[in-house]
Chains A and B, each alone.
Chain A
């Protein structure tokens, strides 16, 4: 999961490595996801999330479709 400066740089990077495209989101959207995903990581009472709970985080941020399905 990498940062890229533009769509042009993304295309060049994929082509240079011979990779099929995955999913592209803005850093702003990734920050939204990170804020929710990692917020509780250091909580003393942390417990592993269920797959359904993790999927709900993605769904609530409209990260939907086959690519974003955890299982």
Chain B
């Protein structure tokens, strides 16, 4: 991965933590005093490298795992903000990434009943007996990451 792409990725993630959302291509271009097309290409390379995920046919960030920027059933309260987790795995990953405690409000995929999980100093102190199901084998996780 190119050094510039790593810098862009770091800027995107720092924007997420600071502002609750990722920096757009235009904002990142301004931050690095680069042309927009250069940064668009960087976003696309990061997408190809699975370092972030763009909306189809767009340079808008869909998710920068574990943070998601489209609606899902997984709402995560951590670090003074309410976040959206891409999936069950990522919902639990948000407190881990932020190195903080967190609460996950989600739903049972079968019946839609609310479920709550709570992470305290890394331990799951509420919701530990819930199940997580992974449909797609690991080697195919990135074939259709939205479905995974």
Contact = CB atoms under 8 A, between A and B. Distances in A.
20 contacts: A2-B133, A3-B88, A3-B107, A3-B108, A3-B130, A4-B131, A7-B131, A10-B110, A23-B133, A27-B132, A28-B128, A30-B88, A31-B123, A34-B93, A34-B96, A38-B96, A38-B97, A42-B13, A58-B138, A68-B138
Contacts of A23: 133-134
B98 to A, nearest CB: 7
Which interface class (under 10, 10 to 19, 20 to 34, 35 or more) fits A?
35 or more
Contacts of B94: 38
Interface of A: 1-7, 9-10, 12-13, 16, 19, 21-31, 33-39, 41-42, 44, 46-48, 58, 66-71
B105 to A, nearest CB: 11
Interface stretch (B20-28, B36-44, B113-121): B113-121
A26 B129 contact: yes
Interface residues of B, number: 51
B124 A42 contact: no
Contacts of A58: 138
Nearest to B17: A42
